[in-house]
Amino acid sequence: MALRARALYDFNSENPGEISVQENEIISLHSQQDIDGWLEGSNSKGERGLVPASYVEMIRNDTATSHNNSTSGDAYQGSRYANIPSGGFDASYKPNNQVENFSKAPAPAFPTFSAPAQHQQQQHNYQASQGSDDDWDDDWDDSSTVADEPGVVSGGFRDFEGNGPSTHRISTSSMARGGNAQQAKSSATVSRNLNRFSTFVKSGGEAFVLGEASGFVKDGDKICVTMGQYGPEWQENPYPFACTIDDPTKQTKFKGMKSYIAYKLTPSHTQNQVSRRYKHFDWLYARLVEKFPVISVPHIPEKQATGRFEEDFISKRRKGLIWWMNHMTSHPVLARCDVFQHFLNCTDEKAWKQGKRKAERDEMVGANFFLTISTPAAPLDLQEVESKTDGFKVFTKKMDDSTLQVNATLNEFARKQIAGFKKEYQKVGQSFKSLSQAFEIDQQTYSVGLNQAIAYTGDAYEAIGDYFAEQPRHDVDPVMDLLALYQGHLANYPDIIHVQKGALTKVKESQKHVEEGKMEGPQADSIRERCNIISFATMAEIQHFHHIRVRDFKSQMQHYLREQIGFFQKITGKLEDALQMYDKA
Amino acid sequence: MALRARALYDFNSENPGEISVQENEIISLHSQQDIDGWLEGSNSKGERGLVPASYVEMIRNDTATSHNNSTSGDAYQGSRYANIPSGGFDASYKPNNQVENFSKAPAPAFPTFSAPAQHQQQQHNYQASQGSDDDWDDDWDDSSTVADEPGVVSGGFRDFEGNGPSTHRISTSSMARGGNAQQAKSSATVSRNLNRFSTFVKSGGEAFVLGEASGFVKDGDKICVTMGQYGPEWQENPYPFACTIDDPTKQTKFKGMKSYIAYKLTPSHTQNQVSRRYKHFDWLYARLVEKFPVISVPHIPEKQATGRFEEDFISKRRKGLIWWMNHMTSHPVLARCDVFQHFLNCTDEKAWKQGKRKAERDEMVGANFFLTISTPAAPLDLQEVESKTDGFKVFTKKMDDSTLQVNATLNEFARKQIAGFKKEYQKVGQSFKSLSQAFEIDQQTYSVGLNQAIAYTGDAYEAIGDYFAEQPRHDVDPVMDLLALYQGHLANYPDIIHVQKGALTKVKESQKHVEEGKMEGPQADSIRERCNIISFATMAEIQHFHHIRVRDFKSQMQHYLREQIGFFQKITGKLEDALQMYDKA
């Protein structure tokens, strides 16, 4: 029996060797084995070539293995940045992070209930491909999987209160201090959240608060929260650095049949250039999301299935990566973490692969991340933490609404300038030119200067039309890039807030249990202590968010205004030139 | 039998004592006698009061007297200036200049064929009202008649070649030198134009060329054409002056039931203020059109039936009158003519009426105007005159097209600025303000400056939206006023060119007749001499047109550009203020 597959999405071939397929088209496969993420086959037109493995599902007799593949590149086209939910509120968690090359052994459609689910899931996704180092060199820039990001998981601003702890199973037995993978078996004294899709559970927040996280924290892994002028803050990076992203260049491999774009990254602290592809960023992003439960990891620019080699797209993606990099390097925790440093500094291919595997096997992720945090001695007032968290929730909701509004307005403003404004000014220019042409019919010498001046004025207005059309690239676009990045952060915060609120709820429950004699004081105290750690981290992260927000919006609004001023000055200059022409007329 | 009348147009009462009527409504009249141009009667609703006599036609048994009344105020609403054909090309001459208060003896629907038809027509229209000086004080500003203006007569740029001389009646008898009103009886040697509606005939051009004009030319009436650097030109006014038009004020009369707007005119050469109403301008305009066949009399601002007391309308009309006055005072012939000087200088009511009658009885109008012209000794090359006339015709056609285009474009440009541009900038402003409001929810002290700066930026963009909406009044409107005035001139020129071409045709015919022995040499020579006079006048007028055109368009384009520069500088200033706010942020 011939191997057959069904296309899950449209795929347009962009390079020799690829074949185009339409959604639901049946493809005859020549082999079930993918080559670097590509399958060889023939489409319904009989064309023979490669299709991305992630775009198709095998047609087997056993239909149960056909699984939902909803996070392909196409799925992101609506939003400017990857992983920003394209709107639509979805309170029920859909584990749509099952994108895998189906040639690998399929994972269960839902992760089994063992915390940290996210961690395990990620390990599966990335460790499963360890066998073939070629996987790293997968040609399909955007086809690498991004599993379990909060942005995808949470449908924007869902009301996580309504999604909160459900029924509790109360037990008086003491907590089992099991290993990393054994928490699920332990019967916790304080309620466990039975909603296995809760971010609080997934992030490892619950496991940590309940004392189920364990791991050896090296000195280098220690993350300090200090008490600053405005409250808890991440200890500043003593070695701040920046990183430039330049020279996106098209490179080919796979006998020239596959192409990708490589960027040159130059960190300021090493000055060693490294070459990285979008898929590397994507991989790194997944590592960071997995590792840091209450840190808002900036989203990387959106995936795009077609037009990936168009100049505009490359330029836009590069700008997005620069914004991303800027947020990475200015985050005291993210900037210093091993996997990011490895990404920035490693030039040797063998060392790269070793570092990659190490990062994928990192145990200090999720629940264990909280173990690495050291806080000031004086605990936080948890009531104040709750109040601040609530306030921040209101803030993020309002900021999300208004960034959406600014985004829509500026988008329309840019569109109007590119189309309508340009047209109006050019029509004015053309009508002046037609007037000067009429005047030229009269050969009076005293009219010549005027005719020329009016013609020049016509040209000036046509140029001004062009200025209007060009301007949004210089001012509106950067603001929209900024907004997109912040929309990513704002999409992260519901989950972060959820973790914080979950921890606070656990403290309240434990207090109640102590009052009811169901729990011993020391146990409740340790829950409170761990909640204090989460609170320090959350407060520090919120503080960091406000700091970079003020910094970014200040500098971006200044940039926008400077550009606008320059723009109107350019127009004024053009008109002044035109006016001067009349002195001679 | 009750006196009845039918409303020819809708009339909306604007003042106590007036009644509203709808087109075709039947009005019962209390008397056939009008009072100051108003009739007392009852409308179909039984309301009793005054309606403008010019808005109704009497219903008589003799229906023949009901005549076509197509030049009421309403008819002009499409165009910005009075008497500018509202588009549409009409090659057949329609004598739609029969507007009269029907209480006067109705004129024949078509003027009898006696040259100069225009002159006689005008005399009828205005001299018929001599019996009642009250007519001068007619309340209905806009209801006074404007007869026989070329602009109304010619449907824009009609192809007057196609409308030229038709069949010719040839006779060898010598020309009868009859009086002003007797030419029709004379049998001309050279063909008479049987198209009695031809501008050449109506203007008196034909009569003059054929030697049928006669009159006593006083020294003061002499109009000199000189040979200047660029060809024939009107002798400059040795006493140039300007005249301001200020303080439009509402005045009432007729026991307070009628209102009108009076303007203060102050000529620079006398510094004596006179008070004039629109109807006075209208009367003067009619005198000038009648008197000067090849001079382009600037059109007065359009009539308007309703909203005459609204501030915007008054301001717009005043600006139109200022433009008109500017063109009057800068025309060497028009500026100096008696009727204009009377209009500018007379303050005494009795002297005014005397001067008014004198002007209406002026014999040196139409054909006789050419008698007043003295030219340089050396005659013009008529072939060159013809070529220049043809060139000018092409020029005016092209200029008419492009002024229409500029007008339409600027009109749309203004509309867009007032609506769309304003809206876009204000939406940007509002979205920035909403962002600052979101930011204000965060009480971080380090965010306060930024919040204020963004709010200020929002206000700045809202203000810029207003700037856009206000701007057209300052730059587009004056250009459109200029274009309207020139569209009036351009509507005049077909008739002027027609007179010139008619005269040239007569010369050619006479040459042919001489060759064929049908005319004697001296007679042909005198025709050529008179054509030379017309040619000098036409060439001087064309020269004048080009001079004021260059002057006006230069200064208006400069004004437009200065305003635009100021506008964009104002925007820049506002944005610079906003930018400064971020220094403190």
DSSP-assigned letter for residue A380 = P
Contact at CB, A230 and B572, closer than 8 angstroms: no
Please report which confidence band the pLDDT of residue A70 belongs to, taking 50, 70 and 90 as the band edges. Answer: very low
Q: Would you call A391 an interface residue with chain B, using a CB distance cutoff of 8 Å?
A: yes
Could you tell me which of B151, B172, B213 has the C-alpha nearest to residue B489? Answer: B151
| B300 and B289 Cβ atoms separated by less than 8 Å | no
| Dist CA B305 CA B245 (whole Å) | 22
Give the model's pLDDT for residue B84: 37
Range scoring the smallest mean pLDDT among A572-576, B17-21, B277-281, B510-514: B17-21
Could you tell me which of A313, A210, A215 has the C-alpha nearest to residue A261? Answer: A313
Q: Would you call B26 an interface residue with chain A, using a CB distance cutoff of 8 Å?
A: no
Helix (H, G, I), strand (E, B) or coil at B237: coil
Percentage of residues of chain B with pLDDT beyond 70? 74
Q: What angle is formed at CA B247 by the lines to CA B242 and CA B250, rounded to 5 degrees?
A: 135
Q: Quick one: CA dihedral A74, A76, A78, A82, positive or negative?
A: negative
B279 annotated ligand-binding residue: yes
Task: Give the gap in angstroms from C-alpha A541 to the nearest C-alpha of chain B.
Answer: 14
- Closest CB from A395, A420, A553 relative to B420: A420
Which residues in A lie closer than 8 A to residue B403 (C-beta atoms)? 435, 438
Element (H, E) at B250: strand B243-253
- Mean per-residue pLDDT, A80-109: 36
Could you tell me which of A76, A470, A478 has the C-alpha nearest to residue A315? Answer: A478
Greater pLDDT, B438 or B170: B438
- Closest CB from A398, A546, A569 relative to B444: A546
| Dist CA B184 CA B121 (whole Å) | 15
Instruction: Examine the pLDDT at A195 and tell me if it is beyond 70.
Output: no
A427-462 pLDDT, tens digit per residue, is: 999 999 999 999 999 878 899 999 999 999 999 999
> What amino acid is encoded at A346 in this protein?
C
Percentage of residues of chain A with pLDDT beyond 70? 74
Which residues in A lie closer than 8 A to residue B395 (C-beta atoms)? 438, 441-442
Instruction: Examine the pLDDT at B155 and tell me if it is beyond 50.
Output: no
Closest chain B CA to residue A563: B575
| Dist CA A517 CA A504 (whole Å) | 20
Question: What is the residue extent of each domain of chain A?
Answer: 4-59, 243-374, 382-584
Range scoring the smallest mean pLDDT among A566-580, B196-210, B462-476: B196-210
Q: Would you call B452 an interface residue with chain A, using a CB distance cutoff of 8 Å?
A: no
Q: Would you call A435 an interface residue with chain B, using a CB distance cutoff of 8 Å?
A: yes
Instruction: Examine the pLDDT at B273 and tell me if it is beyond 80.
Output: yes
Contact at CB, A561 and B547, closer than 8 angstroms: no
Greater pLDDT, B153 or A4: A4
Instruction: Examine the pLDDT at B5 and tell me if it is beyond 70.
Output: yes
Give the model's pLDDT for residue B189: 52
Residue A433 φ/ψ, nearest 5 degrees: -65, -40
Sheet holding A3-7, edge to edge: A48-52, A38-42, A26-29, A3-7, A56-59
A462-499 pLDDT, tens digit per residue, is: 999 999 999 999 999 999 999 999 999 999 999 999 99
Cβ of A185: how many Cβ atoms within 10 Å?
10
Q: Would you call A431 an interface residue with chain B, using a CB distance cutoff of 8 Å?
A: yes
Contacts of A103 (CB under 8 A, 6+ apart): A32, A33, A34, A53
The residue assigned the tokens 């303007």 is: B263
Give the model's pLDDT for residue A305: 63
For the record, the structure tokens of A214 come out as: 């364990």
State the complex-level ipTM. 0.71
A121-147 pLDDT, tens digit per residue, is: 333 332 333 333 333 444 334 433 333
Contact at CB, B230 and A446, closer than 8 angstroms: yes
Give the model's pLDDT for residue A384: 95
Which residues in B lie closer than 8 A to residue A434 (C-beta atoms)? 401-402, 405-406
Q: Name the B residues in 518-547 with CB < 8 Å from any A CB.
A: 546-547
Contact at CB, A579 and B571, closer than 8 angstroms: no
Which residues in B lie closer than 8 A to residue A579 (C-beta atoms)? 558, 561-562, 565
Which residues in A lie closer than 8 A to residue B432 (C-beta atoms)? 406
Instruction: Examine the pLDDT at A255 and tell me if it is beyond 80.
Output: no
Task: Give the gap in angstroms from C-alpha A336 to the nearest C-alpha of chain B.
Answer: 26
Contact at CB, B438 and A410, closer than 8 angstroms: no
A511-546 pLDDT, tens digit per residue, is: 999 999 999 999 999 999 999 999 999 999 999 999
Range scoring the smallest mean pLDDT among A243-252, A319-328, B205-214: B205-214
| Dist CA B314 CA A402 (whole Å) | 45
Contact at CB, B427 and A412, closer than 8 angstroms: yes
Q: Would you call B50 an interface residue with chain A, using a CB distance cutoff of 8 Å?
A: no
Sheet holding B231-234, edge to edge: B231-234, B223-228, B373-374
Which residues in B lie closer than 8 A to residue A457 (C-beta atoms)? 557, 561
Give the model's pLDDT for residue B335: 95
Burial of B529 (0-12, 13-18, 19+ CB in 10 A): middle
Specify the pairing of strand B223-228 against strand B373-374: parallel
Range scoring the smallest mean pLDDT among A44-58, A179-193, A320-334, B316-330: A179-193
Tell me which range, B21-35, B133-147, B397-411, is most confidently predicted by mean pLDDT. B397-411
Q: Would you call B582 an interface residue with chain A, using a CB distance cutoff of 8 Å?
A: yes
The dihedral over CA atoms of A69, A70, A76, A81, expressed in degrees to the nearest 10, equals -90
Q: What angle is formed at CA B153 by the lines to CA B152 and CA B154, rounded to 5 degrees?
A: 100
Could you tell me which of B380, B424, B396 has the C-alpha nearest to residue B528? Answer: B380
For the record, the structure tokens of B131 come out as: 């019996």
A277 annotated ligand-binding residue: yes
Task: Give the gap in angstroms from C-alpha B199 to the nearest C-alpha of chain A.
Answer: 25
Query: For the CA atoms of chain A, what is the radius of gyration?
Result: 28
DSSP secondary structure, A490-511, as one string:
HHHHHHHHHHHHHHHHHHHHHH
Instruction: Examine the pLDDT at A93 and tell me if it is beyond 60.
Output: no
Please report which confidence band the pLDDT of residue A297 belongs to, taking 50, 70 and 90 as the band edges. Answer: very high
- For helices B278-291 and B338-345, what crossing angle results, to 10°? 170
Contact at CB, A441 and B395, closer than 8 angstroms: yes
> Which CATH superfamily hosts domain A243-374?
Phox-like domain (3.30.1520.10)
Q: Name the A residues in 309-338 with CB < 8 Å from any B CB.
A: none
> Which CATH superfamily hosts domain A4-59?
SH3 Domains (2.30.30.40)
Contact at CB, A546 and B442, closer than 8 angstroms: yes
Helix (H, G, I), strand (E, B) or coil at A546: helix
Contact at CB, B546 and A447, closer than 8 angstroms: yes
Sheet holding A258-267, edge to edge: A243-253, A258-267, A274-277
For the record, the structure tokens of B111 come out as: 């003027």
The residue assigned the tokens 């019996």 is: B131
DSSP secondary structure, B520-557, as one string:
-HHHHHHHHHHHHHHHHHHHHHHHHHHHHHHHHHHHHH
Contact at CB, A441 and B409, closer than 8 angstroms: no
Instruction: Examine the pLDDT at B197 and tell me if it is beyond 70.
Output: no
Closest chain A CA to residue B425: A413
Helix (H, G, I), strand (E, B) or coil at B2: coil
Tell me which range, A174-188, B171-185, B246-260, B493-507, is most confidently predicted by mean pLDDT. B493-507
Closest chain B CA to residue A446: B550
Instruction: Count residue pairs from A and B with Cβ separation < 8 A.
Output: 185
Give the model's pLDDT for residue A62: 47
Q: Would you call A572 an interface residue with chain B, using a CB distance cutoff of 8 Å?
A: yes
Please report which confidence band the pLDDT of residue B462 belongs to, taking 50, 70 and 90 as the band edges. Answer: very high
Is the domain spanning A382-584 CATH 3.90.550.10? The answer is no
Give the model's pLDDT for residue B360: 93
Closest chain A CA to residue B573: A565
Contact at CB, B427 and A450, closer than 8 angstroms: no
- pTM for this entry: 0.71
The residue assigned the tokens 């009377």 is: B342
- Spell out a b/e string for B190-199, using b for 16 or more CB atoms within 10 Å of the CB, else e: bbbbebbbbb
Could you tell me which of B533, B450, B458, B541 has the C-alpha nearest to residue B495? Answer: B541
- For helices B521-581 and A445-474, what crossing angle results, to 10°? 30
Give the model's pLDDT for residue A329: 96
Q: Name the B residues in 203-262 with CB < 8 Å from any A CB.
A: 230
Contacts of A427 (CB under 8 A, 6+ apart): B409, B412, B413
Fold agreement between A4-59 and A382-584 = no
Range scoring the smallest mean pLDDT among A379-388, A549-558, B169-178, B189-198: B169-178
Element (H, E) at B560: helix B521-581
Mutate one of A430, A439, A451, A559 to test the B interface: name it (highest B CB count within 10 A).
A439
Give the model's pLDDT for residue B36: 61
